[in-house]
Amino acid sequence: MIDLDTYVQLLGLVQNSIIAGAVLGLVGGLVGVFVMQRDMAFAVHGISELSFAGAAGALLLGVNVVAGSLVGSLIAAILIGLLGARARDRNSIIGVLMPAGLGLGILFLALYPGRSANKFSLLTGQIIAVDSPQLAWLVGISLVVLVALLLIWRPLTFDSLDPDVAAARGVPSRFVALAFMVLLGLIVAVSVQIIGALLVMALLVTPAAAALRVSASPVLVPMLASVFGLFSAVAGILLAIAGSLPISPYITTISFAIYVVCRLVGRASRRRLRAAV
């Protein structure tokens, strides 16, 4: 354990990481609401493995890791979006892409001669290792995703609920679906940098899943999901810098704990509702 003065000093050093974590948590929670409605949790995982491969490739080539991660993410997201309109097609495409991406990433890392800490952090995350200019990129990308998501919010909601009717009512379904995949690719690339390719779902799936246990309001669910995501990310970072353990297990544990509590609360309130009826 460390004393308070040292902690405050550390806090100053990781200030930017906390901001990046907060923004990612917030935006990830919102994106997660649609990940759940469009039944895409598996796709998130698939995209993150390709994102990992891209980042590992960039590390090997000595170019910008965030850029590599983005390239991998976007390729996966667009492929899944184009080839996997139907759920069954989608799952088989993801099932094929995921090991290919992970394998490629492991190959790149094996060839990489640099420090091994860098290698491991892509899989399990280490936001402290990300330097400030890159952090600015991560925050910037997250904000772009946030704005774009708000702009397509309604057509995306309609398309997620009932693509046939949405198309009949003038929603450009293909565009909306593909736009969402691109946004998902972007936010996954950011998440890979912060909590690692293997744990991306803790910020892109768990918070929204938790929110959906306790509410069905179209306003409250996104709000709760983003608060849960933000809290998990920030609290995880704050706890981690006090000790010597990595950040990711803190974030995943907090977000899982929130989910468990929401399940229990949801069950209790449903039971109360049934008793009242």
Partner 1 sequence: MDDEQREGGDVLRLENASLGFGERTLWSGLDLSVKRGEFIAVLGPNGSGKTSLLKTVLGQQALDSGRALLGGAPVRSGDRRIGYIPQQKLVPPGTPLRARDLVALGVNGHRFGLPLPRRGERERVEELLADVGATSYADRPVGSLSGGEQQRLRVGQALADDPVLLLCDEPLLSLDLAHQRGVSELIDRRRREHDTAVLFVTHDINPVLDKVDRILYLAGGRFREGTPDEVLRGEVLSELYGSPVDVFRSHGRVVVVGVPDAQTHAHHTHHPPDERPGAHA
Phi, psi angle pair for 208, to nearest 5°: -70, -40
Site for partner 1 in 143-202 (CB under 8 A): 150-155, 157-158, 161-162, 164-172
CB of 170 to partner 1, least distance (A): 3
CB of 227 to partner 1, least distance (A): 15
Burial classification of residue 131, based on how many CB atoms lie within 10 Å of its CB (0-12 exposed, 13-18 middle, 19 or more buried): exposed
Which of 27/135 has CB closer to partner 1? 27
Which of 76/171 has CB closer to partner 1? 171
Grouping H, G, I as helix, E, B as strand and the rest as coil, residue 90 is helix
CB of 175 to partner 1, least distance (A): 10
Tokens 């977000």 label which residue? 255
Which of 128/152 has CB closer to partner 1? 152
Contact residues for 38 (Cβ-Cβ < 8 A; gap 6+)? 160, 180
Number of residues that bind partner 1 (CB under 8 A): 30
| Rounded Cα–Cα distance for residues 142 and 187 (Å) | 6
| Rounded Cα–Cα distance for residues 159 and 262 (Å) | 27
Site for partner 1 in 207-266 (CB under 8 A): 212-213, 215-218, 220-222
State the residues that interact with partner 1 by CB under 8 A. 33, 37, 150-155, 157-158, 161-162, 164-172, 212-213, 215-218, 220-222
